[in-house]
């Protein structure tokens, strides 16, 4: 058969036969509800995450389509892959689901959940429906209404539930990993924290060709079971230089974002700097006070301008000074004084710190550390320890600094004062106080 006789399929269209079955709720955010779903495509089963949003008006629907169009073109190993948009008429859903969809429509959030039990991250291994999970990070999700199977439906009903279909990350999120360490009276080793941040720098350096994320937080940074850090949640992303509505998490906003002005990739640099400061020191710098959004933003903005942030290595002596200086440059209030892009941040983290002495963290070493941590440091396979030789103590050759202790004594006087000024009511403060009380009781 000659070339001219070959069947041509260019331009052929056909309908998908995929069927989605919602298994359980994974979490709720300012924009919608997140579900774990089983996708059946002609008998081939896979698990995906469905980020659901209820349509409110045509403008919001168009913004959601824009998000889906942006997210689907982002192809990077450190970004959670988005597959596309699905929809189903809202009237077909159980009443409980419709009510829940009405309750999560705000894009502006005051704070993150105080306790991991209220944060149901995308954090479960590949399960059969109903199968339980038992790792340190797994929190049983509440039973979801039986929505049953969802087919891709014609878009002729005005009021719909839209579902952004995303890759299912088998692992945890950085927020949960951080809080799990706090509960064990520990912090993540600085070099591993910096490695995670460096991977997100690479993800954002790529994504900034198209958008500014605007919603960086530990909860939006996933770490899969192979130690690969992945950025997720582009729900309020905007084009660089765009004048945008005020949205995001107040405690991780750049000052120019709070002012509702024009933002660019340097705004994400500041936000990621806040995340890095928190994970490296244990201290969240800008907790919004109780009250309405306007009052909270005004209070945080005032504190941001009036507070002289102490460098991380002054707060805790176990933070290397070079890492501290990189974080502080990310946190300059004036965007012109910050790193100008994420590639600069990533380069400095890698060249000046992570690999300055040679062997440093990799995806495999991060996965090895998490396995050891999950076992309460009881299961230390030699192959995992070999991945972590960069944690060797200089004063004790062959001895790895796996446990980074959290206590008042691990902070300098400056650090202790900062904790008292900024952390009251937080999980960290409660744990430190409980620990101090136990120590006094033993004494």
Residue that wins the pLDDT comparison between 31 and 331: 331
Q: What pLDDT shows up at residue 177?
A: 97
We report the CATH number of the domain holding residue 238 as 1.10.510.10
Q: Does 440 fall in a domain?
A: no
Q: Does 390 fall in a domain?
A: no
pLDDT category, 30, cuts 50, 70, 90? low
286-300 tens-digit pLDDT: 988 887 788 888 888
Average pLDDT over residues 347-372: 96
Q: 157 pLDDT exceeds 80?
A: no
Q: 98 pLDDT exceeds 80?
A: no
Q: How far, in Å, CA of 192 to CA of 368, rounded? A: 11
pLDDT category, 329, cuts 50, 70, 90? very high
Are 276 and 293 in contact, with CB atoms under 8 Å apart? no
Q: Does 83 fall in a domain?
A: yes
pLDDT category, 153, cuts 50, 70, 90? very low
Q: What pLDDT shows up at residue 112?
A: 56
Are 238 and 67 in contact, with CB atoms under 8 Å apart? no
Q: Does 221 fall in a domain?
A: yes
Mean pLDDT taken over the chain: 82
Point out the least confidently predicted range of 205-209, 337-341, 374-378, 437-441: 437-441
Q: What pLDDT shows up at residue 88?
A: 76
Bridging pattern class, strands 108-109 and 248-249: parallel
Q: How far, in Å, CA of 261 to CA of 124, rounded? A: 39
> What residues are paired with 172 via a beta bridge?
223
Q: What pLDDT shows up at residue 366?
A: 97
Q: What pLDDT shows up at residue 103?
A: 59
Q: Does 358 fall in a domain?
A: no
Q: Does 30 fall in a domain?
A: yes
Q: What pLDDT shows up at residue 100?
A: 66
Q: 145 pLDDT exceeds 60?
A: no
Q: Does 411 fall in a domain?
A: no
Q: 41 pLDDT exceeds 90?
A: no
Q: Does 350 fall in a domain?
A: no
Q: How many structural domains does the chain have?
A: 1
Residues, the chain: 443
Which residue segment(s) compose the domain that 303 sits in?
19-330
Quick one: residue 200, left, alpha or beta (phi over 0 = left, psi -120 to 50 = alpha)? alpha
Question: What residues have CB less than 8 Å from 133, skipping those under 6 apart?
Answer: 124, 125, 127
Q: 70 pLDDT exceeds 50?
A: yes
């Amino acid at each position: 058969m000659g070339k001219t006789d070959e069947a041509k399929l260019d331009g052929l269209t056909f309908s998908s036969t995929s069927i989605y079955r919602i298994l359980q709720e994974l979490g709720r955010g300012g924009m919608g509800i997140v579900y774990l779903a089983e996708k059946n495509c002609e008998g081939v089963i896979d698990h995906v995450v469905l980020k659901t949003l209820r349509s409110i008006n045509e403008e919001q629907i168009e913004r959601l389509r824009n998000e889906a169009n942006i997210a689907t073109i982002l192809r990077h190993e450190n970004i959670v892959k988005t597959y596309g948009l699905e929809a189903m008429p809202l009237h077909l859903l159980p009443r409980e689901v419709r009510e829940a969809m009405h309750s999560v429509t705000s894009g502006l959030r005051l704070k993150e959940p105080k306790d991991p039990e209220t944060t149901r991250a995308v954090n479960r291994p590949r399960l059969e429906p109903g199968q339980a999970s038992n790792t340190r990070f797994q929190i049983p999700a509440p039973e979801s209404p039986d929505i049953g199977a969802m087919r891709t439906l014609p878009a002729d009903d005005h009021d719909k539930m839209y579902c952004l279909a995303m890759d299912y990350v088998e692992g945890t999120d950085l927020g949960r990993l951080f809080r799990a360490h706090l509960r064990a009276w520990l912090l993540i080793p600085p070099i591993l924290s910096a490695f995670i941040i460096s991977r997100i720098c690479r993800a954002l350096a790529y994504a900034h060709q198209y958008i500014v994320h605007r919603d960086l937080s530990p909860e939006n940074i996933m770490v899969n079971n192979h130690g690969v850090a992945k950025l997720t949640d582009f729900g309020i992303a905007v084009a660089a230089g765009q004048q945008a509505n005020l949205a995001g998490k107040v405690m991780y906003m750049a000052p120019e974002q709070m002012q509702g002005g024009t933002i660019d990739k340097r705004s994400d640099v500041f936000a990621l700097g806040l995340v890095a400061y928190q994970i490296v020191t244990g201290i969240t710098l800008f907790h919004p006070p109780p009250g309405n959004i306007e009052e909270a933003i005004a209070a945080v903005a005032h504190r941001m301008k009036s507070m002289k942030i102490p460098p991380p290595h002054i707060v805790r002596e176990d933070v290397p000074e070079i890492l501290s200086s990189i974080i502080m440059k990310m946190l300059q209030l004036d965007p012109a004084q910050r790193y100008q892009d994420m590639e600069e941040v990533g380069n400095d983290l890698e060249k000046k710190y992570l690999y300055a002495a040679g062997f440093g963290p990799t995806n495999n070493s991060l996965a090895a550390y998490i396995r050891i941590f999950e076992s309460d440091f009881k299961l230390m396979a030699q192959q995992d320890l070999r991945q972590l030789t960069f944690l060797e103590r200089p004063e004790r050759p062959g001895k790895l600094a796996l446990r980074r202790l959290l206590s008042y004594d691990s902070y300098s006087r400056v650090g202790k004062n900062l904790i008292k000024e900024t952390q009251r009511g937080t999980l960290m403060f409660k744990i430190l106080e409980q620990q101090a009380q136990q120590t006094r009781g033993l004494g």
